[in-house]
Amino acid sequence: QVQLAESGGGLVQAGGSLRLSCAASGRSISSYAMGWIRQAPGKEREFVAAINYAGNTYYAGFVKGRFTISRDNAKNRVYLQLNSLKPEDTAVYYCAADSGPYYTRRAYKLDDFRSWGQGTQVTVSS
């Protein structure tokens, strides 16, 4: 079982940027798709972005070029660069690993992810 730990959240003004990091331990994540999911206050969790083992990336429609997911397999880490942040991006951001290795998916659902971190809070002020 992989353990995931997010960091990099914080308070930022609208239009600002943050870089979230997800450190994995317990096993290599190089063969797993990794995702970022967020949960805003009073709302359900929603998919943000994913990157599969081959480096292909997937984004939710609301990202619209503002966020970039990447991975560094040598460091066993995944990143989410958040740019042009809006108050509606305020949420807890979770890192998660796909349920199995070398899966290729056309799209990602929350149920596709089995291992989750504890989350990191992102707050965007207007």
Which residues are within 8 A (CB) of 42 and not within 5 positions of it... i.e. 6 or more apart?
none
pLDDT, residue 64, reads 84
Q: How confident is the model at residue 1 (pLDDT cuts 50, 70, 90)?
A: confident
Q: pLDDT per residue over 52-111, tens digit each?
A: 999 999 999 999 899 999 999 999 999 999 999 999 999 999 999 999 999 989 999 999
Task: Write out the two tokens for 25.
Answer: 């331990």
